[in-house]
Structure 1
Amino acid sequence: MANFAAFDSLAAACIEKGDTAKYIRVHFEFTIDENGVLYDGKYLYTGSTRYAGGSGDKKIKYLEEQKTYLDNAVKKMIPRIPAWYPALQSNVRVKCAVKDYFQFWLVTGFSFIKNAVNFDFPIKEALLSIEPLCDEIVVAVGDCTDGTRELVQSIHPTKIKIIDTVWNPNLNRDGVVLADETNKALKAIGSDSDWLIYIQGDEVMHEAGHAAVLKAMQQYKDDKRVDGLLFKYLHFYGSYDYVATSSRWYRNEIRVIKNDKSIYSYKDAQGFRKGNDFKLNVKPVDAYICHYGWVREPSKMQAKIINGGNFWGGDNFTEPDKTEMFSGSFDYSEIDLLEKFTGQHPVVIQPKIAAKNWQFDYGLSYSKLSLKERFKLIVEKITVFHKPFVVPNSNIVQPIHAGKALAKSDLGFMGDDEGENISALNPLFCELTVLYAIWKNKLYKEHTYWGLCHYRRYFTLPLWFWQFKKKENAYKLTPTQENIDQIFSKKFQSKIESILTPNTIIVSKKWPLTTNKGVTINMKENYAIEHEANGWQILQEVVNDLYPAFSNSFKEAELLTGLSIGNMMITHHTIWNEYLDWLFAILYEVKNRYTIPADSYQSRALGFMSERLLNIFLHHNKNRFQIIEMDIVTFVQKKEPYVKNAPPKN
């Protein structure tokens, strides 16, 4: 099916016609010659059926007008199919004719809603935004008398299936009732659906992402490692002209899941879990959900806030409490940071936007961000993990699982195997597989600056370890949660923010290079001692060939007697882009010329070379950038030996 070029248009036609069958089958025939080579492909017809197996299906007549186009698609598909075993007759190879089909699926959407009319939820727009992708949409409509049920049913009388529910007042704590209602809709979906699309009553999926969603569904349908798809978010606030951009607004969330009965809505229905509270394995998709939960006429917004308080506070909020807390119209000015929206809203909500009858203006130069929030917006530190370890409790740290594509266990957070990636090459590239994923997929998002640390190695302020109650070594600490969390103090964040400029690079203080006997050596000598010497020669040749301007810098830098280690760096994203473009061009060419050692440690040669290349890059650009060296701290389990002057082996 992957070789059938007409798949997208055929699927779109079936969806547009509202075909109610789960499976769509494309029937075709071809010939196999005596050598097993396929040729002479011909399209027969397209049928629909509710059953995965069996031979019966119903011919789809509206596709007959595309018969010529589909026939050409089949003719192109057949030569791309790998050769088959040739047919045998009396043990002699013979030519034969074959009739076959492939089948694909359609999708079920689901949602929940209550009092949409009274509180101006854009439920109509929400359901219409996923309707083109869905064969059926299940909506749990809560007990209300404001016309919400009639509104939902009118959106698509045949495609929408309503289940009437009563919201459980015993779950009016922390939004749990919202997850309960989501799960009611989820449980009402039959077992014959493959993919499920979730949309909340104040969300709208942008139609620009529909093709990407369909493509991802096709790609991951039979991949048992994938539980769902992760969407990007735009959070509108105050009006349709502004989006909220501070870190307290979630950037991504799962909105497409497999029809796995172990998956359920989690906490306040923002996301999903499976089994015993396990996170889902998801793949990012280039599609946006527009969240309009904070866009209403101010009095309507105030009513929604008062009503919503019931689901988070329950009996803690009395009527006098609500009157005191939420009197009058909602004040949209109490917001930390917004940006002007310059894109296009989804088509389905544009009529609602045109009918907007209130005004909200925001001074873009004004910000109520705290120091902590300002720092997080400016800087994000990516921390590389390849095995279980203590994870910092800090909202400026994003843990990423390195080499996740090859991992036997899931560490429970984002991996380097999403989007464009080289995760499977982690044994060769080490932490660079994380750098590659960040660089190629722009995972730093809105952050002006970002940096890389290791799961047990972090930047730190000088002498910060004296603050600890227990006396610890300056360069190594026991990896307790308390020890790791104390690194990310307000003082540390203030220091980083104060020194970063678009021209600044923060790296680790150079580690002195010595032999085991304490004799000072240079970078070239160090590499020859620790690794294969001929690798250094090949590296130099590649740099000379690809970047002749770096030739002298290479010769000078290899004589340095100190090394900034671990590819640890914090800098402006444009400098990162320049460095990584240069770095990977060199390493890929080295990979082509150099025979990677079979030894499990020395096979990480490209990772070891990259540490030296960082120092060569810094040396070459020492007059362009302000290079600041910072202390680092290493967290070491007590059973591990510690050598005072040996640089860490990464």
Structure 2
Amino acid sequence: MFISGFSMVRNATKLYYPVRASIESILPIVDEFVIALGSGDADDHTLEEIQNIQSGKIKIIHTEWDLKKYPGGGEYAHQTDIAKEHCKGDWLFYLQSDEVIHEKYLPAIKKRCDELLTNREVEGLLFNYKHFWGDYSHYIVSHAWYPKEIRIIRNNPEIHSWRDAQSFRRIPAFNGVNYFQKDNTYKLKVAEVDACVYHYGWVRPPEMMQKKRVSFETHMQGNEKAVSIFKEEPDVFDYGDISKLCIFNETHPEVMRDFIKKFNWQNQLYPHNSQLKKHKHDKFKYRLLSFIEQKFLKGNQIAGFKNYELIHPKPANQ
């Protein structure tokens, strides 16, 4: 069994992505790690950050981004596909650069890949998610956030990154351009794996979080629209009231140790003399739905979108 890790990134160090920790978190169980590295800004040092890992498993594919050809976040999916196409594995393990796997999950992940290797019905593996918010001690459980997502796929040329690269679909006659198409696309048949992705995308210094949001909206909607969206907003992101979020009392992945040491914005999480901003997960509608889902439905979302077909295959050795 051969497992390939893969990802895509651009301006990771400039925008405070834990890209090194993300890659290192699965290196022990992958045979290679392919990353599509987009040409970044002059003050970005992502290439050096990746090279400092000093692993022969890592393969860097240098790319250029074309936001006109792939608008609306489609370039994220395109870059993901570029990395995917260079993978040799039976299974392909995808992580975005703000996603990290705790070392405690690695044995279960590898075992699951091995026991389902010959079951061709299984096209991917579904992971749980833990979305950290504001700092490393709080995380979100909300109807407004996705609780699970596909992060391991079979090496099938018909499987492509989809929409803005959050997930995957099988697209047999894909034209290589329209990553938002729905017609003639198929949700992957996936099996669950007893593992969790730690998502740190919303844990940044407030000024860096705002810069990342501007960058994201520029990629999604273009520079003019992004300028319009943020012209009335402050330069510092307001995380709102994090006191109502879940408290994280477990350990973080060991590879995140040095990155977490940089945390120094605690005094900016509760701004004085200002009305705390309400985010989507703070709104009454989503808080009510979340309460019902967690209290009575074992965390299953009410009419939640699922970009997969969950199946329950028996391992080959049973």
Q: TM-score range by the shorter chain?
A: 0.7 to 0.9
CA contact (8 A) 1:126 1:202 kept: yes
Shift, 1:160, TM fit = 0.7
Q: Structure 2 length normalisation: TM-score?
A: 0.82
Match of 2:21 in 1: 125
Q: Deviations over 1:176-215 (max 9, x none)?
A: 111111011111223xx21111111111011111111111
Equivalent position SS for 2:150: strand
What is the identity, as a one-letter code, of the residue corresponding to 1:302? Q
CA distance in 2, matches of 1:166, 1:377: 41
Shift, 1:172, TM fit = 5.7
Which of 191, 207, 219 does residue 311 from structure 1 map onto?
219
CA distance in 2, matches of 1:154, 1:253: 30
CA contact (8 A) 2:218 2:226 kept: no
CA distance in 2, matches of 1:211, 1:272: 24
Match of 1:286 in 2: 194
Q: Deviations over 1:276-306 (max 9, x none)?
A: 3101111111111100000011111111111
Change (3 A) 1:108 1:159: same
Which is worse superposed, 166-175 or 256-265? 166-175
CA distance in 1, matches of 2:305, 2:218: 35
CA contact (8 A) 1:246 1:336 kept: no
What is the identity, as a one-letter code, of the residue corresponding to 2:291? I
CA distance in 1, matches of 2:121, 2:66: 35
Match of 2:236 in 1: 329
Match of 1:352 in 2: 259
CA contact (8 A) 1:110 1:196 kept: yes
Residue 65 of structure 2 is aligned to residue 167 of structure 1? yes
CA distance in 2, matches of 1:161, 1:399: 34
Match of 1:376 in 2: 289
CA contact (8 A) 1:140 1:162 kept: yes
Q: Deviations over 1:76-108 (max 9, x none)?
A: xxxxxxxxxxxxxxxxxxxxxxxxxxxxx2311
CA distance in 2, matches of 1:378, 1:163: 44
CA contact (8 A) 2:190 2:309 kept: no
What is the identity, as a one-letter code, of the residue corresponding to 2:10? K
What is the identity, as a one-letter code, of the residue corresponding to 1:114? R
Change (3 A) 1:201 1:412: closer
Equivalent position SS for 2:20: helix
Shift, 1:153, TM fit = 2.2
What is the identity, as a one-letter code, of the residue corresponding to 2:153? I
Q: Structure 1 length normalisation: TM-score?
A: 0.42
Match of 2:207 in 1: 299
CA distance in 2, matches of 1:379, 1:274: 33
Equivalent position SS for 1:379: helix
What is the identity, as a one-letter code, of the residue corresponding to 1:254? I
Change (3 A) 1:344 1:418: farther
What is the identity, as a one-letter code, of the residue corresponding to 2:51? Q
Change (3 A) 1:161 1:242: same
Shift, 1:372, TM fit = 2.8
CA contact (8 A) 2:70 2:78 kept: no
Q: Deviations over 1:295-354 (max 9, x none)?
A: 0111111111111111111155154x2551443211111679521111111110022112
What is the identity, as a one-letter code, of the residue corresponding to 1:287? A
Shift, 1:156, TM fit = 2.8
Change (3 A) 1:350 1:418: farther
Which of 126, 138, 149 does residue 47 from structure 2 map onto?
149
CA distance in 2, matches of 1:336, 1:229: 33
Which of 160, 169, 174 does residue 273 from structure 1 map onto?
169
CA contact (8 A) 1:203 1:293 kept: yes
CA contact (8 A) 2:217 2:226 kept: no
CA distance in 1, matches of 2:217, 2:27: 31
What is the root-mean-square deviation of aligned Cα atoms in Å?
2.8
Match of 1:235 in 2: 131
CA contact (8 A) 1:246 1:337 kept: no
Ranked by relative contact order (alpha carbons within 8 Å, sequence separation 6 or more), the top structure is 2
CA distance in 1, matches of 2:117, 2:18: 30
Equivalent position SS for 2:220: helix
Which of 112, 115, 119 does residue 216 from structure 1 map onto?
112
CA distance in 1, matches of 2:230, 2:124: 42
CA contact (8 A) 1:302 1:326 kept: no
CA distance in 1, matches of 2:291, 2:264: 35
Percent of pairs identical after alignment?
36
Residue 246 of structure 2 is aligned to residue 339 of structure 1? yes
Change (3 A) 1:315 1:297: closer
CA contact (8 A) 2:188 2:309 kept: no
What is the identity, as a one-letter code, of the residue corresponding to 1:333? G
What is the identity, as a one-letter code, of the residue corresponding to 1:223? N
Change (3 A) 1:418 1:369: farther
Shift, 1:235, TM fit = 0.4
Q: Deviations over 1:2-31 (max 9, x none)?
A: xxxxxxxxxxxxxxxxxxxxxxxxxxxxxx
Alignment of 1:549-568 (within 5 A): none
Shift, 1:246, TM fit = 1.5
CA distance in 1, matches of 2:46, 2:237: 24
What is the identity, as a one-letter code, of the residue corresponding to 2:289? K
Shift, 1:248, TM fit = 1.1
Change (3 A) 1:412 1:350: closer
Equivalent position SS for 2:59: strand
CA distance in 2, matches of 1:237, 1:250: 14
Change (3 A) 1:270 1:335: farther
What is the identity, as a one-letter code, of the residue corresponding to 2:67? P
CA contact (8 A) 1:172 1:311 kept: no
CA contact (8 A) 1:265 1:271 kept: yes
Alignment of 1:160-559 (within 5 A): 160-171=58-69, 173-190=71-88, 193-275=89-171, 276-317=184-225, 319=227, 321=228, 323-333=230-240, 338-359=245-266, 369-380=282-293, 396-397=302-303, 413-415=309-311, 417=312
What is the identity, as a one-letter code, of the residue corresponding to 1:213? I
CA distance in 2, matches of 1:224, 1:307: 39
Shift, 1:369, TM fit = 4.0
Shift, 1:236, TM fit = 0.5
What is the identity, as a one-letter code, of the residue corresponding to 1:126? S
What is the identity, as a one-letter code, of the residue corresponding to 1:123? V
Shift, 1:174, TM fit = 3.0
CA contact (8 A) 2:22 2:99 kept: yes
Change (3 A) 1:336 1:310: farther
Shift, 1:370, TM fit = 3.7
CA contact (8 A) 1:306 1:326 kept: no
Equivalent position SS for 2:17: coil
Alignment of 1:604-623 (within 5 A): none
